[in-house]
Chains A and B, each alone.
Chain A
Amino acid sequence: MGQHLTESPVAPAPKAPLAGLGRYLPARAKVGRQLPGMARTLGISLASMAVFLLLWQMSASYLYGVEASARIERTVREQGPEAGAQMEACIASGDVSCKPNTLPFPSEVLHAAGLLLADHREISAKKAEFNTETAELNVVRAEQGLDPIVYTGRPSFVDQIGTSLKTVAVGFLISLLIAVPIGIIIGLNDTLRIAFNWMIQVFKPVSPVVWLLLVFMIVKTLTLGSDSDTSFLISCISVGLCSMWATLVNTSLGVSSINKDYLNVARVLNLGIGKKIFKVILPSAIPVIFTGMRITVSVAWMVLIAIELLAQSPGLGSFVWEEFQNGGSDSNAKIIVAMFVIGLVGFLLDRIMFWVQQRVSFEKAVG
């Protein structure tokens, strides 16, 4: 199938264990191999986490030192040695007003996570209270044909995660609705595949930011005159457009590279076009399509943050941006909390896709 000019298939990566590294490790490392698999994996993971935390702690304390001495020097230069000594004492006391602003320590991040959770509980309580207070009034308003009053206070961090998930879910659906049908059509037809190929090659590498601007131009014009909030629409369409390419390429590849024996059976049985597509071609392409969809989900989640940040639509992206802008004493720590949450949610989304893939596919996927 030399015609298939689109990007090389995103095949499941071969399992490449680090076994090859074994011979570079001291002989004692062999003890690890005798442990049962699970315990070994867990042990290695915990150990590497400890190393990671240690490196983080060391980097943070180095950067803290650099920032602190620079601040003291500047104070000495500008306000004299006395003020410098005061600054040094202030920093040593850990006071918020003169805290060096740099990479936060792991402990600070943990503390910030606690703060964010406490904040969430507080806001949820307020929201619940608000809802009970307005419940009666809303019933009356509904009878009068008015919109109910809703809580419009500041969203908590957890609410922001929910908003982001919603955006990514809608964006993912949009990408599937575009990529899977087009992928099937161009997979079935050589001429259309060539016709679409340049488009895929040119648009696939375009940055999420540019997609956002393009979607913004179009949506802005289409919604002229309406005063509804378009930022959600803009960000989920952009997420869909950025992330759909892997699904598109894999769908067309999966469809076009179907086993010829299957097609021969379909021809001998005189299957109609509908049965041929839904009973033969699609099921055979499902493993490859799902590999593409898994990539789409992770790309969608990755670009979402950047897009939310620019589109000013609520979510984790705007949370990170606001924290960076307001520069509070614990802002850096909160940004790192967001980073871990983004990573963990992305990991979970991938696991979910993997699980679904296992359910629907006749081949075993590579995790």
Chain B
Amino acid sequence: MLTPPVNLRDVVLDFRDLTKVYPTPTGEYVVLENLQLQIKKEEFVSIIGHSGCGKTTLLTMIAGLNDISRGEILLNEFPITGPGPDRGVIFQSPSLFPWMTAFENMMLGVDQVFPHGTRRQREDIVKYYLDKVGLSQWMHRRANELSQGMQQRVGIARAFALKPKILLLDEPFGMLDSLTRAELQDVLLEVWDKEKITAIQITHDVDEAIFLADRVIMMTSGPRAQIGDILEIGFERPRVRKEILHHPDYYRYREHLIGFLEH
């Protein structure tokens, strides 16, 4: 077994014989088959693999947006049956409502998750997280007046503000240019280092996976995708981009991942 033994009490997310099958006119298409994986509390996991290997399917099943065909996913020992705000999702496209301001977009979620707090308390939560992602000045701008990068900052702030048990990131920086992407990775890590919310991120980007994750999970290509390999990233947190780029282990990790992806 590739997964190192973990203390069961520390397991937030437990995949048991997880299988996803899409019916097609020519028969069943098995995307994932008997996937076993455990994710620990306060762990940041990156999932990397080729397109079509079922990474996004896996993530949407955790989010509850996609049905589970066989097996189960346990979140704090309870099986996932549908979507809910206890799993914060940062989508690939920013997915803000363009007719609302950044502030209103966040309030919609915060109102939903903290219905018992006073209005003032909820507003403070929104303002705190918008400040954390550097958007205090822009919070009353409509979402469609913000750049892609800024919109995704709001997406990050929204996900954290809802205090989810687990954070799901679906290639959140895939649509951004490389400068903005690096900037947002820093923003994400900065907030994450404070909140330590267990996170699962899907990415195509080897460097992103190394920089962000404690563990990188490599998926084999579909159909019947499996976990091919797992790489532990031993960098200390908080991480600083420059130091990591000059760390002797960095290129070893990088070669390991690229070596896997090229086969």
Measured CB to CB, the residues of A under 8 A from B are: 261-262, 264-265, 267-271, 275, 279-280, 283-284, 286, 361-363
Give complex CA distance A262, B95 in Å.
Answer: 6
> Which one of A265, A283, A286 lies within 8 Å of B91 (CB-CB)?
A265
Given known pairs A262-B97, A279-B108, A280-B97, the reply for A268 and B85 (CB within 8 Å) is: yes
A284 B99 Cβ-Cβ under 8 A:
yes
B144 contacts the other chain (CB 8 A): yes
Most buried by B among A261, A262, A265, A286: A265
> Hey, which chain B residues are within 8 Å of A363, CB to CB?
98
B39-83 Cβ-contact flags toward A at 8 Å (1 or 0): 000000000000000000000000111000000000000000001
> Hey, which chain B residues are within 8 Å of A261, CB to CB?
91, 93, 95
> Hey, which chain B residues are within 8 Å of A280, CB to CB?
97
If A261-B93, A283-B99 are given as contacts, then 7 extra A-B residue pairs at C-beta distance below 8 Å, sorted by A number, are A261-B91, A264-B63, A265-B97, A267-B65, A270-B83, A275-B108, A279-B108
B119-161 Cβ-contact flags toward A at 8 Å (1 or 0): 0000000000000000000000010100000000000000000
Count class of interface residues, chain B = 20 to 34
Measured CB to CB, the residues of B under 8 A from A are: 63-65, 83-85, 87-89, 91, 93, 95, 97-100, 108-109, 112-113, 142, 144, 162
Give complex CA distance A226, B142 in Å.
Answer: 54
> Hey, which chain A residues are within 8 Å of B113, CB to CB?
269
Give complex CA distance A362, B113 in Å.
Answer: 26
Enumerate 16 A-B pairs (CB-CB under 8 Å) in ascending A order.
A262-B95, A264-B65, A264-B83, A264-B91, A265-B97, A267-B65, A268-B63, A268-B65, A268-B84, A269-B113, A269-B162, A271-B108, A279-B108, A283-B97, A362-B142, A363-B98
B90 to chain A, nearest CB (A): 10
A296 to chain B, nearest CB (A): 22
Give complex CA distance A234, B228 in Å.
Answer: 73
B112 A270 Cβ-Cβ under 8 A:
yes
Most buried by A among B84, B87, B95, B162: B95
Give complex CA distance A363, B144 in Å.
Answer: 9
Give complex CA distance A286, B162 in Å.
Answer: 28
Give complex CA distance A128, B95 in Å.
Answer: 60
> Hey, which chain B residues are within 8 Å of A264, CB to CB?
63, 65, 83, 89, 91, 95
> Hey, which chain B residues are within 8 Å of A275, CB to CB?
108
B85 A269 Cβ-Cβ under 8 A:
yes
